[in-house]
Structure 1
Amino acid sequence: LLFSLGSGLSALTTTLAAFLALRFLIGMGLGGELPVASTLVSEAVPAKDRGRVVVLLESFWAGGWLLAALISYFVIPAYGWRTALWLAAIPALYAIYLRLRLPDSPRFAAVRKEETVWKNIVHVWSAPYRKETVMLWLLWFCVVFSYYGMFLWLPSVMVMKGFSLIKSFEYVLIMTLAQLPGYFSAAWLIERAGRKFVLVAYLLGTALSAYFFGTAESLVGLMASGIFLSFFNLGAWGALYAYTPEQYPTSIRATGAGMAAAFGRIGGIFGPLLVGSLVAQGVSVTAIFTLFCLAVLVAVLSVAVLGKETKQQELA
């Protein structure tokens, strides 16, 4: 509800302050929705199918990206940004309609809810779960930092490399299409090769693609590296959402997943701001994308060293 109201009302604003206030509301809605959705599905699906189903759930993020890219390409030039924001509110309102009949988590319903929110937050950092929490916070920060830093700037980076804005939207749309096979391949692999393998492999693919995208000069090089960047990065995102809720017991699962995602959003704030700052200082696109490559490698190390395999394990 917060997300859809913020999207629709943003189209009515006439000042930057009002627009930013409503974008803040949208962020609250999105930030609260994502970890709860993945936790709810994790607790409702049998262990043998849980990873695959959660990754497929997250694949609809790519569907939204594709729709947003199409609106950017076709609607904004002809009808303006306000129309685009009104359209963005419609799917969220439909989601509210669907949620009216959605049952709550059977696992959560079976747990006596005696602990307060603050006790749950402290529990996430208690000795039995401290290692998992450190791993997840590092992983989320680096993934969200690099994702928003790279993908929010993709059209602008294409412009910096000599293409028109309309052409940039077109190329980004093509790159975005690669997100879907990235998700689907991760969904296929995650119950066969395991969570750690998928995360490490797809994050390594993300790091290499980011480096080559930053160094590419030709259109073929940019498109190829951009397609691989979308493929691997969004496949890693799907595995991340499947992996995160499995680190905690039911009593603190959503709290732990939400806190990790929230810490990651700090990276999502700094990533795009850092790109803008570095561009203003004349830092090259190559150097900027190399920085994101290194951030993703830190995420790889956190999973490889601190992570545990949770494939087909029953939730605690």
Structure 2
Amino acid sequence: MEASVDHNNEKKVQADVVDLKAVPPMDIGPGDLISYGDVDPVLAAKMHLLNEAINEIGWTNYQLKLFFLNGFGYAVDSLLTFYIGIANPQAVLEFRPPYAGGGTIALYAGLLVGVLGWGLSADIIGRRWAFNLSLVSSAILTIIVGASPNYNFFAAFVALAAAGAGGNLALDTTVFLEFLPSKYQFMIVVMALWWGVGQTVAGLMAWGFMPNFSCTSADFCPKSENMGWRYLYYVGGGFVLVLSMLRIFVFRFRETPKYLLCSGQDEACVELLQDVAKKYNRPCNLTLDQLQRLGTVTTAHAATRFSLSEVAMHFRGLFATRKMAITSVVLWMLWACIGLAYPLYYIFLPTYLATRGAKFGETSPYYTWRNYTLANFCAIFGPLFAGYITTIRVIGRKFTMVIGALSTMAIFFGYTSVKSADQNIALNCIGSLTINIYFSALYAYSPEVLPSAHRATGTGFAISFARVMGIVAAVIGTHVDTSTSVPIYVAASLFAVMAILAAIAPYEPQRGQSI
């Protein structure tokens, strides 16, 4: 009798063992991380079922709300990045620091710490906490920047505010992507329009405050005559605070289903999708039994969550296969190049505009900040165009980056030969549009080609290369005459390198779905 019981138990155990051959065949597309199934077939099989459920539910108002709320994070990162190019020259006039580039370096140092810290924490403790806390901390610290009594204080709180906002680029794309049906993954590209919104808001504030509340010489620049840059941070910080409150109190964001799955929370994952489906009257046939029969995920987290081994696991996951390793390295190089080219052009754009405007008789700060705002506004349309062409079969994400990079290179080289005020503003506007075609496609491509378990870490680490090169650009800008065309030539040449890197990148996610 006892032997019979053991035999029956053995049969039951065997019945519960995962038969991955019985898993429905995956819909392999050019963008799927098919090699990841060789590393953890259980996770790959579960992700396949999860993706089917997300596709079954389809696009709902939940994703639409995420588009706006996650876009706020993009806008904040952009806002603070552009603020430093506006405010730092005036802070230098007022405080007379020994090193004029300190504020810009502080910004990028803060962004670097933020993108690494928040990105890694999102893979360890979850997207939800990092998603909410990063924006709140940035809002409060941005307001404090406006009250700076000296340059050291200014630089320190610029860095702290940037650390709060710095993880948003990694978090916002990750969170949005992990709720998206495959048919709508192109919306990751379109979401970058919020970057243009952020820089446009920065330009409008600069246009409103800087011409009327700024001193023009370090010989006489007391606080009372130089309140423009402080108003920027007061109003901008208040704006960010409102956005952070909307995230927390108006839209109750729940953890992403793919993070829950990677963390072994199958029940919570199914419950989340069932709740969304019920709320929006959509079908969802995913069951807990389907997931649990596949087994246990073992490659997403270490045995101890808060440990060096957990951190090491997330970095090792980026090199799990040869193809993923090549992808990770290409991403680093793409972000490093844009990290140097972008600030060489944009952070010093006010200087370029003022210098060239003077040649055409537009010497008033009013014209400088007007042109600056118009150029920033044009950035909004780059992601809209990029979102469209990424859906064209022969173009996709990779060749959208190629098109954006090459057209930006051409515009930058052309900008060095402007002969009139109209050409000046026209080429700046077109360049702003083309550079954001490239940027929006890169924003989308980075999280799409990384596995969910390590996505925030991988995206954050890739963006960190851009932050490091931003510091390099700030040092260059301090020691090189930024009123000349040399930085523009360097930036243009870097876009040629980016076009080549994008073309040879291993994955094309256009017709696949991220795991």
TM-score normalised per structure 1: 0.93
Equivalent in the alignment of 2:447: 245
Contact in 1 for aligned 2:344/2:488 (Cα 8 Å): no
The equivalent residue for 1:158 is 353
Q: Which residues of structure 2 form unaligned runs of 5+?
A: 1-135, 214-227, 264-299, 303-309
Q: Deviations over 1:129-182 (max 9, x none)?
A: 210011101111111211111011111112222243331111111112211221
Supply the distance in 2 between the matched residues of 1:150 and 1:216 (Cα, whole angstroms): 16
Q: Residue 314 of structure 1 aligns with which residue?
A: 513
Cα shift at 1:254: 1.0
Classify 1:119/1:4 alpha carbon distance in 2 versus 1 (closer, same or farther; 3 Å): same
Equivalent position of 1:48 in the other structure: 183
Aligned partners of 2:490 and 2:229: how far apart in 1? 32
Please show how residues 253-292 of structure 1 align to structure 2 within 5 Å. Answer: 253-279=455-481, 285-292=484-491
Q: Deviation at 1:229?
A: 0.8
The answer to whether the 8 A contact 2:193-2:381 is kept is: no
- Pairwise CA RMSD of aligned residues? 1.7
| Pairing of 1:1-316 with structure 2 (within 5 A) | 1-51=136-186, 53-78=187-212, 80-100=228-248, 101-112=252-263, 113-115=300-302, 116-128=310-322, 129-161=324-356, 162=358, 163-164=362-363, 165-192=365-392, 193-279=395-481, 285-316=484-515
Question: 143-152 or 162-171, which moves further after superposition?
Answer: 162-171
Q: Higher mean Cα deviation, 194-203 or 98-107?
A: 98-107
Per-residue displacement from partner, 1:273-301 (whole Å, max 9, x unpaired)? 32332217xxx723321111111111111
Partner of 2:10: none
CA shift, 1:126, in A, is: 4.5
Matched position secondary structure for 1:62: helix
**Post-superposition offset of 1:91:** 2.6
1:197 shift after superposition: 1.5
State how far apart, in whole Å, the 1-side matches of 2:459 and 2:340 are: 17
What is the letter of the counterpart of residue 351 of structure 2?
S
Gaps of 5+ in 1: none
% identical equivalent positions:
22
Aligned residues: 312
Provide the C-alpha distance between the structure 2 equivalents of 1:58 and 1:251, rounded to a whole number of angstroms: 23
In structure 2, C-alpha distance between the alignment counterparts of 1:307 and 1:202, rounded to whole Å: 19
Please tell me whether Structure 1 or Structure 2 has the larger radius of gyration of its CA atoms.
2
Q: Compare the two structures and name the one with the higher helix fraction.
A: 1
Structure-2 change in CA distance of 1:314 and 1:117 (3 Å): same
Aligned residue number for residue 225 of structure 2: none
Whole-Å separation in 2 of the counterparts to 1:257 and 1:168: 35
Q: What per-residue deviation string (whole Å, max 9, x for no partner) do you get for residues 10-50 of structure 1?
A: 01111111110101112212221211111110111111111
Does structure 2 retain, via aligned residues, the 8 Å contact 1:49–1:191? no
Cα displacement string for residues 243-281 of structure 1 (whole angstroms, at most 9, x for unaligned residues): 10111111111111110001111112222432332217x
The corresponding residue for 2:6 is none
Which secondary structure does the structure 2 equivalent of 1:314 belong to?
coil
Separation of aligned partners in 1, 2:412 and 2:475:
18
Alpha-carbon distance in structure 1 between the residues aligned to 2:488 and 2:506:
26
Distance 1:287 1:4 in 2: 36
2:194 corresponds to which letter in structure 1? Answer: F
Q: Which amino acid aligns with 1:19?
A: F
